Amino acid sequence: MSFLHPSQPHLPCSALLPSLSSPFHFLSVFILPMARPVYAGVEINETDGRMLEDLLERVHVQNYSEFCDRVLAAQASFVNAPGAPWMGRARQLDFLQVPLMDEITANNYKNGPFESIHQGGSFLYLYLPAGVARMCLQQQSLAPIPNRLRVQTGGGLLAMDAWPYDQYGITAEQVVRIYHKYGCRDATVQDVEFFVAVPRTASFGSVRGDTGVSIRRAPFDRFDIPVIGPALYLN
């Protein structure tokens, strides 16, 4: 998909300036950015593993999938707005069919890069201190995650398939060992007391030889945080 590996160079600033010989060029280039919806994430404090499983795998995945429909509607409004720039049929269809984590603007619509969301897929899970998880939820951002809990080689985001409920899950000690494996040597069980459920996106890559672990190598900035809560680890 063209969102993931753009090949064209960024437009120079001069290309964004209206031409004096083209009075309508201003309308076709200087467009308002897409008004991307903001997800209203929640904190849940469920103590029963089966109830937590139901909430995460059915209720919140469905809620977030419906939110992605709103994102698609916002992208369609951008593409179909009066004076919207022509971007080619294939790229226009991408914007109409694939929800993005990004806000589309006049500066990035042509070359991106964009982070596409796997709508309707199960969440990935980050395991973090309670205070950090709450800041991520409040800000709808990954920025609060401290450097010591980021993959030390390349600064990536460490995410896991492992569920935060005890029926089929893992222990806090196992999560800590995964952190240690990726260079976060001072991580403790207190650092993984909360889960942060996040949508799968094209920026998450699986790790060869480490099933169930994904790393996202992209900026730690605005990101949809659907739900957080205490992790119910296997005793």
Mind listing the pLDDT tens digit of every residue in the chain (235 residues)? 555 444 334 434 333 333 333 343 333 444 667 889 999 999 999 999 999 999 998 899 999 999 999 999 999 998 888 877 777 788 888 899 999 999 888 788 888 889 999 998 899 999 999 999 999 999 999 999 999 999 988 889 999 999 999 766 789 999 999 999 999 999 999 999 999 999 999 999 999 888 899 999 999 999 999 999 999 998 7
The reply to whether 72 falls in a domain is: no
Residue pointed to by tokens 């950015």: 33
Q: What are phi and psi of 228, to 5 degrees?
A: -135, 170
Domain encompassing residue 143: 124-230
- What pLDDT is recorded for position 3? 56
Domain count, the chain: 1
Whether the Cβ atoms of residue 61 and residue 122 lie closer than 8 Å to each other: yes
Domain presence at residue 60: no
* Phi, psi torsion values for 196, nearest 5 degrees: -125, 110
CA-CA distances (angstroms) from residue 19 to 4, 67, 81, 159?
31, 39, 21, 47
67 inside domain: no
Which of 25, 3, 24 lies closest to 14 in space, CA to CA? 25
The reply to whether 115 falls in a domain is no
8 A C-beta contact, residue 215 and residue 157: yes
